[in-house]
Amino acid sequence: MSILKATVSMMKQLPEHDLLKVHAFVKLFFPDISNPFHPLTEDEIYRQLKEARDHTASGKIKDARQVSANVRGKYGL
Residue 32 pLDDT = 75
Taking the alpha carbons of 39, 42, 45, 47 in that order, is the dihedral positive or negative?
negative
Q: How many CA atoms lie within 13 A of 18 on its CB side?
A: 6
Q: How many CB atoms neighbour CB 22 within 10 A?
A: 13
Residue 41 pLDDT = 93
Residue 35 pLDDT = 72
Residue 29 pLDDT = 86
Ranges of residues in the chain with a pLDDT under 50 are none
Residue 68 pLDDT = 93
Residue 73 pLDDT = 92
| Helix (H) / strand (E) containing 74 | helix 64-75
* Cα separation, 28 vs 64, whole angstroms: 40
Residue 28 pLDDT = 86
